[in-house]
């Protein structure tokens, strides 16, 4: 296989991961009630419905708190995506050091995501997206090994 094509299969999947992170961050930032994006698993985790939670007087400002938390999460996700996009776009993962460093970082992030998702919200609608991110990551790693041969 042509080395240029192999190289494209290394950096393009990582670029796609970055774009997905940016899009997801923008969605969480722009959604008026972002906790409803994964409402069912959140309610299973809380063992209560949002309707009941917001009905109690003590939780009068809970929605404001959740908005801040989710918007911060969206900003974080968008920022990580933008940093990854910029790193991959500039380096094109042309060196072994650049590939190894981004792969280690993504491995840590994906591992953390798997632990959080399957420990707390295994019914999340974002589980298939997690599998897609993993497939892109594995594709990049496999072609990195192929490039080294």
* CA 84/CA 93 separation, integer angstroms: 11
18 — phi, psi (to 5°)?
-60, -45
Percent of the chain with pLDDT over 90: 97
At residue 149 the predicted structure's pLDDT band, cuts being 50, 70 and 90, is low
Mean pLDDT, the chain, rounded, equals 96
- Structural domains of the chain, count: 1
| Residue 2: per-residue pLDDT | 93
Give the pLDDT confidence of 1-58 residue by residue, as tens digits. Answer: 899 999 999 999 999 999 999 999 999 999 999 999 999 999 999 999 999 999 999 9
* For range 113-130, the mean pLDDT: 95
102: DSSP letter: H
Closest residue by Cα to residue 137 from 129, 147, 149: 129
At residue 142 the predicted structure's pLDDT band, cuts being 50, 70 and 90, is very high
- Look up residue 62 and give its two tokens: 């809970």
- Look up residue 52 and give its two tokens: 């009941």
| Residue 1: per-residue pLDDT | 85
**Can you give the residue range of the structural domain that contains 93?**
3-148
Given a contact cutoff of 8 angstroms between Cβ atoms, the answer to whether 82 and 12 are in contact is no
* CA 124/CA 89 separation, integer angstroms: 31
* For range 126-142, the mean pLDDT: 97
């Amino acid at each position: 296989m042509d080395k240029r094509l192999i190289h494209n299969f290394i950096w393009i999947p990582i670029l796609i991961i970055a774009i997905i992170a940016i899009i997801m961050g923008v969605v969480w930032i722009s959604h008026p009630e972002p906790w409803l994006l994964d409402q069912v698993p959140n309610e299973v985790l809380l063992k209560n419905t949002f309707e009941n939670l917001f009905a109690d007087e003590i939780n009068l400002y809970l929605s404001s708190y959740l908005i801040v938390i989710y918007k911060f999460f969206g900003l974080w996700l968008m920022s990580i995506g933008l940093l990854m996009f910029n790193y991959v776009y500039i380096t094109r993962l042309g060196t072994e050091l650049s590939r190894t460093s981004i792969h280690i970082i993504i491995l840590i992030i994906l591992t953390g995501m798997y632990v959080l998702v399957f420990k707390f919200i295994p019914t999340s609608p974002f589980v298939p997206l997690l599998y897609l991110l993993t497939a892109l990551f594995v594709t990049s790693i496999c072609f990195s090994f192929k490039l080294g041969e």
